Structure 1
Amino acid sequence: MLVNSIIRIKCISLLTCIMLTACSSVPELESSAVAPIVPLPDYHQELGIFSAYDDPWEGFNRRMYYFNAKADEYVLLPIVDSYKQITPDVVETGLSNFFNNLGEISTFVNSVLQLKFSVAGETFGRFFINSTLGMVGLLDVATPMGLAEQNEDFGQTLGFWGVGAGPYLVLPLLGPSSLRDATGLAFDALADQQTLDVLGMKSEEELYLSLINSIDARARLPFRYYASGSAFEYEYLKLLYKKFREIQVAR
């Protein structure tokens, strides 16, 4: 998607700036040194980009970040690897398309709530075409026809109506979020549940489908904890997430 590509470019640019500014520091002046003309603030960290966003729950967030990294390494990724090994590529693609098609319902609802009627119309068109010509969403027929996939969630809807993001929050297994976006997740989960209820599925079938959806979502996410090799990975991810959400709400 063009929008996602633009967002990725902006995020990469932001990350480059972060890496450049993170290397700077304020050295202590020796007694014989000339005092700087421009006075420095008492707290030099206020000059850094890492202080751009509040993190009042940093202690909890860092512990949860470490927990997620270990859960990812020892539980989620082994399951994902097994899933990818035993699932043919064509089946894996079909399942991804199917879950994306179900997600169009939540995008449609949130587009209407944000008064983005053109996005809502395009999303409805995608859902209708992929649900019929695309064999209940197993095939993505709409994208080649020029109907681009959109992404709208209730966290963005709250932001559209002026609700602030609130404190940064790392959720168990789900990763980076905020107080507003975590609230939005609950609404989107309810919308997804209503979709499953309309399909008339049994509770164990819903559980199995949700499990496959979670595995598929993790399989499509290239992020790996601590793969950056940076001691500031937590800060980088926080900044990228917050900036990414600002872009999503503003567009």
Structure 2
Amino acid sequence: MNQMNKKTISTAYAGRLGAFALAAAALTGCASTSNNPKDPLEGFNRTMFSFNDTVDKVALKPAAQAYDTVVPTPVQRGVGNFFGNIGDVWSSINQLLQGRIEQGVSTFMRVAINTTFGLGGVLDVATEARLPREKSDFGQTLGKWGVGSGPYVVLPFFGPSTLRDTAGMPVDLYGDLWTYKRPTRWRNVGAVVRIVDRRAQLLDASTLLEDAALDKYDFVRDAYLQRRQSQINGASGGSEQKEETIKP
């Protein structure tokens, strides 16, 4: 049984690392320069951005639109709450690793309250109890520990990132409790639902982006870098910005 568990986790791990490996291989052969010191790989990044945008338009956005049309709003909210509750466990651990003990305990209390009184996290009781969600990941933790962000990079399928955040992604995968869900088929179904639900939450924002941004690439890059810096500053004691970044 242990060997089977390790094998399934390793498969998921390998799948996610495949995108990282693809990006790394492309980077070695596409090291175009840029005048922007924060984005020295702009040529490669724009290519990946265009690829991701095409994938989104062809597959992900239509799936999210169908999901948004067919699935009642209360059910969508429950799905988002459920997976958000799972994500809160890893957020709590990262907040503790960052030395933010009070916030880490608060997030842990969110999990306890929503799991116990919110039907396993389907209902977000904790927010009503004035315990709002604050997401944290290992990339933020590395930033809190003093690791520089490195160059901006757009990963295939995953979207905007930095070298530091990319290094933290495999750790985030292992920290996500859904990775250990059995049987594997239910884990995979849940992973797809999670992605589609998250994309559905961003439908209005992506429409606004398409209508307003003169250069979508520049807009997404700048928004991502500002948001991540805000989160690192928040981990150091400032206020934290909680909005999602659109990821074509």
TM superposition score category, shorter chain reference: 0.7 to 0.9
What amino acid is the match of 1:70? T
The alpha-carbon deviation at position 196 of structure 1 amounts to 4.3
| Matched residue, 1:129 | 113
Change (3 A) 1:212 1:196: same
Q: Please give the residue correspondences for 1:101-180 in structure 2 after superposition, counting only pairs within 5 Å.
A: 101-180=85-164
Q: 1:227 aligns with which of 210, 216, 229?
A: 210
The alpha-carbon deviation at position 231 of structure 1 amounts to 4.1
| Matched residue, 1:239 | 222
| Matched residue, 2:170 | 186
1:215-237 alpha-carbon deviations (Å, 9 max, x no partner): 11111124428614544331222
Q: Does 1:210 align with 2:194?
A: no
The alpha-carbon deviation at position 52 of structure 1 amounts to 6.0
What amino acid is the match of 2:210? A
- Aligned equivalents of 2:199, 2:215: Cα separation in 1: 23
| Maintained 8 Å contact 1:106/1:153 | yes
For residue 125 of structure 2, give the secondary structure of its aligned residue in structure 1.
coil
- Aligned equivalents of 2:65, 2:125: Cα separation in 1: 28
The alpha-carbon deviation at position 151 of structure 1 amounts to 1.1
For residue 169 of structure 1, give the secondary structure of its aligned residue in structure 2.
strand
- Aligned equivalents of 1:196, 1:173: Cα separation in 2: 18
Would you identify which runs of 4 or more consecutive aligned residues in structure 1 move more than 6 Å? Answer: none
- Aligned equivalents of 2:66, 2:166: Cα separation in 1: 30
- Aligned equivalents of 1:147, 1:52: Cα separation in 2: 40
- Aligned equivalents of 1:239, 1:247: Cα separation in 2: 12
| Matched residue, 1:3 | none
Q: Is there any run of 5+ residues in structure 2 with no aligned partner, and where?
A: 1-33, 235-248
The alpha-carbon deviation at position 175 of structure 1 amounts to 1.4
1:136-193 alpha-carbon deviations (Å, 9 max, x no partner): 000000011111111111000000000000010111222111111111122111111x
- Aligned equivalents of 2:78, 2:212: Cα separation in 1: 34
After superposition, the CA RMSD in angstroms is 1.8
**Larger proportion of helix:** 2
Q: Is there any run of 5+ residues in structure 1 with no aligned partner, and where?
A: 1-49
| Maintained 8 Å contact 1:53/1:239 | no
For residue 170 of structure 1, give the secondary structure of its aligned residue in structure 2.
strand
Max radius of gyration: which structure?
Answer: 1
- Aligned equivalents of 1:189, 1:196: Cα separation in 2: 7
- The TM-score normalised by the length of structure 1 is 0.75
What amino acid is the match of 1:210? A
- The TM-score normalised by the length of structure 2 is 0.75
| Maintained 8 Å contact 2:173/2:179 | no
